[in-house]
Chains A and B, each alone.
Chain A
Amino acid sequence: MTTSATARTRLTRWRWLPVAVAVAIALTGCGSSSDGSSGGSSGGDSGAKSITFWLSASAAQAQGYHDLAKEFQAKEGVTVEIVNVPYDGYQDKLRQAAQANSLPDTASVPSLDTIWINQLQDLSATANAPANKINKDLLTVKDGKVLCIPSDLTAAGLFVNKTLFDKAKVKIPADPNQTWTWDEFLAAATKVRTATGAKYDLVYDQSPARIRPFIYASGGKGFQLGPDNKFATPDDATVQALSKFASLNDDKVMPKSVWTSGADPNALFKSGQVVAYFSGVWQVADFAESITSFDWASAPTPGPIHATDINLGGKVVAFNNGDKAEAAKKWVDYLFQPANYTKLAQVNGYLPVESGLTLNYPFKKKAALDAFQLYIKEMELADPISSSGHQNGTKLLLAGKSIQEDPTKDEMAKLINGQQDIKKTVDNIVSGLNQQIG
């Protein structure tokens, strides 16, 4: 063998050394920590010095948590890093975090997911503490373990542009006991629109939970679980209600763009060019701060059947993240201590889950204070079917199943867009729900 040949052989032999070294370095760098926690390491068995708390809320409804986080840090020496995640995709993000073993330490989640339900800590001590007086009916309990504590109660409801109503001299019913029907409300809204030159009668949140009250008010039962834990084909009243709802998206009563293309109804209502907005109580804190160009008011939910969608605003959970677990549980317990929860509910404008609290909401606007009073009355008057959506979710969860993506939104968008008829829409919703249940 010549010298050059030997050299070349040697070269060939060592050619991949740099690659191997780089791969080894990269792999070492990508090695995961053993504790599986999402935050920085604490290093002590007494717990972490920082924990993460994910939520999805408007700035107004996140403020209460920021205030309490500062107090918690001062008291316990633990920093709470609050991450405000956009609602659209929050559930997906949690699912992906679970798959990547990087769940937050604590969170306020829209709903529980079977994918990460086994990684939740038991919050019984906080939930059952006599001093807290938390409504036990609102807890999700599995095998004696309290999986989450709701941060607040929510209800869907109607907001109106009071300035436009006053201008058109159209009256808004004040007493939820004598509410208007959907037909009466729509007639009134059209009258206001034509009298004032507004653009639309109504904008309506693009959400399965928000469309339920429209179905219930029309006498429909909506999409309900049968005894076999499968969603049954809905009754005729539900089908008719969905048809009617689709027909309202005619760019006069309602803009098509909200339900078909994801236009923001909140922004449209705030423009002052829309007579009414069907959304929910969580908007009150935001409207109190951000609507200054016109007067707004909460109005009774249209009937004839007095129904809304009673749900839990957020479900506070603590994940079992190694040495962060203890601090996470402490944070959740801190949130629900009556004095702290009072502050949280007042600042965030929450309908409370704890009884016996004296709440003085810090809103200067009378409209906001009136709205809370109205929502409390509305929830008392609401037909029992109003909480069936939330109950179905809990029932499925305890059976080890969950609905990750309610197809109602997408299928209704296709119906409104003329891509399919009502029969196909209803069939697709039912089959889409049942497919996920398995």
Chain B
Amino acid sequence: MMLGAPEKMGSNNAAGAARRAWHPWVLMAGFLLVAIGWPLVGRDYQVYLSLSFFSYSIALLGLNLLFNYTGLISFGHALFIGIGGYTAAFMTHKYSLLNMELIILIAVFLSGLVALLIGLICVRYIKIYFAMLTLAFGMLFHSFLMKTYSLTGGDEGMHVMQPKLLGFDLSHMDKMSFFSGPYYYYNLVFFALASYLMWRIVHSHFGLCIQAIRDNPDKAEYLGISIRRYRLYAFVISGCFTGLGGALMAPVTGHMDPAMVFWTHSGDMVFMTLLGGFSNFFGPMLGSLVFIFLRDTVSSFTEYWRFIFGALLAALVILAPGGLMELLSRGWAAVGGLRSKEQGS
């Protein structure tokens, strides 16, 4: 996947652009194979970290449906992480409903419902106004969580209990082996399914419509596409994916608190998306992978990892707005160029 999406340029660049050397799904299959073997070779802690990668990747699939494909930047998407996560916290902690599939169903349903209600208002606006409105809704939810102490535990948050997977009670397993074993594969399946589903969505008729709206709303409207309705659909789908990511994330963190929905967390999510490359389907996944493991590495040798990440983000925005995917494809093209020179001489 990581080498993935930059289309391989052939020795003849013009012809190579149209020809994909590797189909993205071949790479995805390769990545999944590696991911399946990963718990066998990786240390438990690294496998545990990979769980964050899965849930953030799924959440970012949703965020990027808006950011890249619909051309709307949300600075409040942590709201849906919060809805998914707090659903898991409520059900396991308050009502002892430990069935993960039920948690996911309800989390996705609630996220979609909230996205529908908020979206009806938000999609009337674009650009900075859309960003601000989503930020405001995210912060509204944040202050709701902070103030309803008796319900949500306020700033102390709520615990998330270890869930049952497919009805199996795995509470006899210790935490680490649960996460690096059954829960890892459970997440991997959802990651694969969600990626496939989103791939189908963005390559469907609907996906083409929202991209047409992004590129030229006026033309799209002449073609008979209802701009607001399609933006609303995109917003609801986006919310559902991010809510799913949040629900899967909750047992891993084991705890939900309002910081999860603070606007800076939404900013971090946009950061991950940009880091990998938002204009590439697989970019946000690469972004979350690099973000999570890099943060872990950097914060192990300095407590000032935010400074380093801020500088990294600034450098990316200025020098490589296409993210790592763009850098990889530039590097790939440069290697291709060198090779064709060698052959020519």
A-B interaction: no
* A residues lining the B interface (CB < 8 Å): none
